[in-house]
Amino acid sequence: MSEENNEKRAYNADSIQALEGMEHVRMRPSMYIGDVGLRGLHHLVYEVVDNSIDEALAGHCDHIEVTITETNGIKVLDNGRGIPVDIHKKEGVSALQVVMTKIGAGGKFDKDSYKVSGGLHGVGVSCVNALSNHLKATVYRDGKIYQQEYERGKALYPVKEMGDTELGGTEITFQPDDTIFANTVYNYETLAARLRELSFLNAGVTLVLTDEREKNEDGTFKTDTFLSKEGLKEFVQLIDQNRERLTSETISFSGEKEGVPIDIAFQFNKSYNENMHSYVNNINTIEGGTHISGFRRALTATLKSYGDKENMFEKHKVEIAADDFREGLTGVLSVKVAEPQFEGQTKTKLGNSEVSTAVSRFVSEQLAFYLEENPKDAKVIIEKVILAAKARNAAKKAREMVQRKSVLSGSGLPGKLSDCSSKDPAKSELYLVEGDSAGGTAKQGRDREFQAILPLRGKILNVEKALEHKIYDNEEIKNMFTALGVTIGTEDDDKALNLNKLRYHKIIIMTDADVDGSHIRTLILTLYFRYMKELIENGYLYIATPPLYQVKKGAKHAYCWSESERESLIREFGGDNPSSVNVQRYKGLGEMNAEQLWDTTMNPENRTLKQVTIESAAEADRIFSMLMGDDVPPRRDFIEKNARYANVDL
């Protein structure tokens, strides 16, 4: 071996890169904020807002303003105490500079400053600073204004005094680094949903969102103010606004048990799903955890005890299971934990065992008292439980029939499925295609090695309004379950989705680019959100984006996915004579031939897939129930408000 090669392969102390905190954040941003897509971009805002919410939790702040600037920067202003600016003894610089430039620095690590704090990773505003082209921190404290600016996490000058003030608080303005984030355009609705959520979780705190990129007709900027007086009670009412409530009022309890502050609100409705949302220190624990376990245990035991005492179960010869006590339940549980331990795939599952006991005891006491004081509501709830038990038994039989049929029919795969050659789920894709015609085109155009096609006939059942056993009787839904290889029921939970034999790690909804196609896509999404949410949470569900137009002039042609692209291409192709230019509007997938469908929508080299995610399960729950429920006015309002984002064919 040559000496030169020896030097290249040497692995010694010189090979180890000792990166400073800020450099490591910039080199490995996904470790700190999850990803560098839109989710990570919005997470920067949440990290800054979390600092302000911590001030609110500590009782020092009740007003927070978030502004999207004209340049897609962000400004967050609160009326808290202001970040300390005096010299940090260990670091020898202002405490503000330490907080802004050192990972793991900040008051939330000092139990005397904050008993509990929000934020999942604890990296805070220093991480935001590292991932910003420019950040300016302005502190209003002790009658003075202080300021410091930074570029990519490095201070441009020492903290300086700027003048006098009667205000208190902190203002952070930052511009995300466009060399790290592929897309630096903030979505107003995404930020609004999070601030609305925070307002419910922190009753009495006003959160204002302003968009300086968009003006109203009167010249003012688009803005929304979120303030909740009743907290979680209002949150549950918003989530459940499109469902018919069974109880006379929303049940809510708030207090402290064994050192754990607990806030809970819930109600029963006429739907067939449990919609329980949980938070720890304002973090949405989408995988649940010990706090949810404690609540469920208390709910089951207390309702069962009441039903037994009143002899309500005796006359119904049906076996009652724990799930039956939660059918049609919508609720929000929020706990504050000094030192939360998070587990699970996304680190959003609470692991503290002591919280389970505290929540269980608290809910048992409060709910028992409520049932005794409200016998009419108690009776309605128990009657709902009995109906749920009967429906569950029917659904179980229907599920077993689907699963037994799969076993008896050999491979168990639907006849309509054109499977792929690959048996590796990580490499395999399943396209759910609207109609036999488009299905035929997709079969011809696909790569048979890794792409499977399942045509769906027409519009599948609206699961939002159907009894569970009816869902498993539906032919198209049965075909989906058997094609995917998933079953319902695990050792831990007989309603959970079993993914052990999942056959594809990309499930792609491919529907026509018209109103009917959008409706079918929404029906499929509703099915997955309600009955196969684990597939969404694991990142397996996608939406294909077929083009809306083909623009052609002579031998030249190109595809467009938006009106602005179409107009631009007409100008480019047509020059002074845009009328020789031919524009074809694709209303259906079947209007493309196999080669066009492959080139535009199925070829991994060219296609754009939208991954389906659940940023806020509570907001998704509300929107699905509104879009797919019986109440028309809220749906009409939603469509009118969002019409500019939709493709509407007249």
Per-residue pLDDT reduced to its tens digit, 103-139? 765 554 444 444 555 554 445 788 999 999 999 999 9
Beta carbons within 8 Å of 500's beta carbon, 6+ residues apart = none
Q: SS3 letters for 591-613?
A: HCCHHHHHHHHHCCCCCCEEECC
Beta carbons within 8 Å of 318's beta carbon, 6+ residues apart = 386, 389, 390, 393
In this structure, the strands spanning 429-434 and 451-456 are parallel
- Note whether 611 and 539 are within 8 A (CB): yes
Q: Which pLDDT score, from 0 to 100, does residue 289 have?
A: 92
Catalytic-labelled residue, pool 23, 62, 494, 516:
516
- Closest-CA residue to 591 (of 434, 383, 429): 434
Distance from the Cα of residue 32 to its chain's centroid: 18
Beta carbons within 8 Å of 486's beta carbon, 6+ residues apart = 497, 498, 499, 501, 502, 532, 535
Catalytic-labelled residue, pool 263, 377, 419, 434:
434
Place of tokens 């065992």: 353
H or E stretch at 136: strand 132-141
CA dist., res. 595 & res. 446, Å (int)? 9
Q: Which pLDDT score, from 0 to 100, does residue 336 have?
A: 92
For 1, which DSSP code?
Answer: -
Q: What is the pLDDT of residues 587-631, one digit of tens each?
A: 788 888 999 999 999 999 989 898 888 766 677 777 777 777 666
**What is the value of pTM for the model shown?**
0.70
DSSP string, 165-191: -S--EEEEEEEE-TTT-S--PPPHHHH
CA dist., res. 644 & res. 366, Å (int)? 47
**How far, CA to CA in Å, does 105 sit from each of 99, 124, 143?**
5, 8, 25
Counting other chains too, the contacts that 306-312 makes at CB distance below 8 Å and 24 or more residues apart are: 306/368, 306/371, 306/378, 306/382, 307/382, 307/385, 310/378, 310/379, 310/382, 312/379, 312/382, 312/383, 312/386
In the three-class reduction of DSSP (H, G, I as helix; E, B as strand; rest coil), residue 632 is classed as: helix
Q: Which pLDDT score, from 0 to 100, does residue 403 have?
A: 61
Q: What is the pLDDT of residues 303-344, one digit of tens each?
A: 999 999 988 888 777 788 888 899 899 999 999 998 888 887
Catalytic-labelled residue, pool 78, 197, 327, 512:
512
**How far, CA to CA in Å, does 144 sit from each of 149, 170, 173, 526?**
17, 12, 19, 53
- Note whether 132 and 149 are within 8 A (CB): no
DSSP string, 461-519: P-GGGS-HHHHHH-HHHHHHHHHHT-EE--SS-TTSEE-TT---SEEEEE--SSHHHHH
- pLDDT, averaged per 10 consecutive residues of the chain (650 residues), comes to 44 43 80 83 93 89 96 96 89 89 61 51 76 96 95 94 94 95 92 94 96 90 96 94 88 94 94 89 89 95 92 81 90 92 78 94 96 94 90 76 53 80 95 88 94 88 79 85 83 72 94 82 87 89 91 88 86 78 85 91 91 75 71 63 42
Domains of the chain as residue ranges with CATH: 21-226 (3.30.565.10), 232-392 (3.30.230.10), 409-545 (3.40.50.670)
Q: How many CA atoms lie within 13 A of 568 on its CB side?
A: 8
Catalytic-labelled residue, pool 514, 537, 591, 619:
514
- Closest-CA residue to 61 (of 82, 86, 44, 85): 82
Q: Is 512 a catalytic residue?
A: yes
CA dist., res. 223 & res. 214, Å (int)? 9
φ and ψ at 544, to 5 degrees? Answer: -75, 155
Q: Which pLDDT score, from 0 to 100, does residue 345 have?
A: 60
For 94, which DSSP code?
Answer: B
Place of tokens 């502190």: 139
- Note whether 587 and 597 are within 8 A (CB): no
Q: Which pLDDT score, from 0 to 100, does residue 280 have?
A: 93
Q: Is 492 a catalytic residue?
A: no
| Tokens read off for 277 | 């949302």
What's the count of helices (H) and strands (E) in the chain, helices before strands? 20, 26
- Note whether 589 and 438 are within 8 A (CB): yes
- Name the CA radius of gyration of the chain, rounded: 28
Q: Please report how the helices 290-309 and 353-373 are oriented relative to each other, as an axis angle in degrees rounded to 10.
A: 30
| Tokens read off for 428 | 């395999």
- Closest-CA residue to 505 (of 446, 451, 454): 451
- Note whether 54 and 122 are within 8 A (CB): no
